[in-house]
């Protein structure tokens, strides 16, 4: 997934027309995070992340698809595919493809020695050592950064990241105790929520021009599976909902 970030760029285009700790779903060593995406309260699509061990690093595969309809006519369509390779908290490679309402873009990057070279339709740039993208799935990576790579545009964006403290967030039909963090920058106003006690990413709110909000919420079915797995590990029955 800004990206703003990938999220922010898509959001601007769109405007133009758990109390218990949770841990990510793991299947065969693959960590999966699935989010339902809303424009205000209106469901418009999804974004999914798969984190797979790859040698001494991790491969992150991202898939996003949004569609906004007006009077049954598609007013906006967005699709994003991205594969990243990470090692020791640093981005080692990225290959991203985006179709934002018919406008296609690519971002490719590789670590080369002590530098990270990123290529877009506008050419190549050297971003320096140990680059990071908008790695919402890893709070620790985000908190260390003052710049983040936009996987849709290839821009290396200055950001300010700060804790907002504890709160509650309605996700998947339940009220979750969360820790909140703000990411701000030019055209970026994002609040992230992580489940208290586990640092599991469960929500994102991106405020847009015009007073609207792009919202990510961890999928209800995934939260149910996570809760059931946690109850099983604890030796108790999962609560019915």
pLDDT for the residue 108: 98
Phi first, then psi: give them for residue 220, nearest 5 degrees.
Answer: -60, -40
Domain-located, residue 176: yes
Residue 163 domain boundaries: 6-17+20-232
Which residues 6+ apart lie within 8 Å of 103 measured at CB?
A: none
The pLDDT assigned to 165 comes to 96
pLDDT at 226: 66
Number of domains in the chain: 1
**In this structure, is residue 78 part of a structural domain?**
yes
- The two counts, helices (H) then strands (E), for the chain are 3, 16
pLDDT value for 106: 97
Taking 70 as the pLDDT cut, the residues of the chain under it are 1-28, 226-241
Q: How much is the pLDDT for 210?
A: 86
The whole-angstrom separation of Cα 112 and Cα 118 is: 10
Domain assignment present for residue 75? The answer is yes
Closest to 195 (Cα-Cα) out of 228, 172, 162, 212: 172
Q: Does residue 139 sit within a domain?
A: yes
Closest CA to 115 of 97, 128, 98, 99: 128
Looking up residue 59, the CATH number of its domain turns out to be 2.50.20
Residue 167 placed within a domain = yes
Q: Is residue 57 part of a domain?
A: yes
| pLDDT for residue 230 | 58
pLDDT one-digit tens code per residue, 63-112: 999 998 888 888 889 999 999 999 999 999 999 999 999 999 999 999 99
On whether residue 240 sits in a domain, the answer given is no
> Which residues make beta-bridge pairs with 195?
178, 200
pTM as predicted: 0.82
pLDDT of residue 60: 98
CA distance 78 to 2: 14
The pLDDT of residue 115 = 93
Would 239 be classed as within a structural domain?
Answer: no
């Amino acid at each position: 997934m800004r990206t703003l970030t990938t999220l922010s760029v898509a959001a601007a285009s769109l405007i133009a027309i758990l109390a218990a700790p949770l841990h990510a779903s793991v299947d065969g060593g693959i960590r999966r995070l699935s989010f339902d995406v809303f424009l205000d309260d209106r469901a418009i699509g999804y974004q999914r992340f798969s984190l797979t061990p790859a040698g001494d690093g991790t491969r992150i595969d991202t898939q996003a698809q949004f569609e906004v309809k007006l009077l049954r006519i598609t007013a906006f369509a967005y699709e994003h595919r991205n594969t990243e390779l990470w090692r020791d908290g640093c981005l080692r490679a990225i290959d991203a493809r985006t179709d934002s309402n018919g406008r296609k873009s690519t971002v490719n990057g590789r670590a080369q020695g002590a530098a990270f070279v990123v290529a877009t339709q506008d050419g190549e740039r050297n971003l320096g050592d140990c680059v990071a993208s908008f790695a919402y799935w890893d709070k620790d990576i985000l908190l260390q950064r003052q710049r983040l790579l936009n996987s849709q545009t290839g821009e290396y964006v200055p950001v300010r990241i700060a804790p907002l403290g504890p709160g509650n967030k309605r996700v998947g039909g339940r009220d979750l105790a969360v820790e909140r963090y703000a990411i701000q920058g030019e055209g970026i106003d994002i609040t992230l929520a992580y489940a208290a006690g586990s640092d599991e990413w469960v929500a994102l709110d991106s405020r847009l021009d015009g007073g609207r909000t792009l919202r990510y919420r961890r999928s209800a079915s995934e939260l149910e599976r996570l809760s059931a797995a946690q109850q099983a590990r604890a030796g108790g029955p999962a609560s019915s909902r």
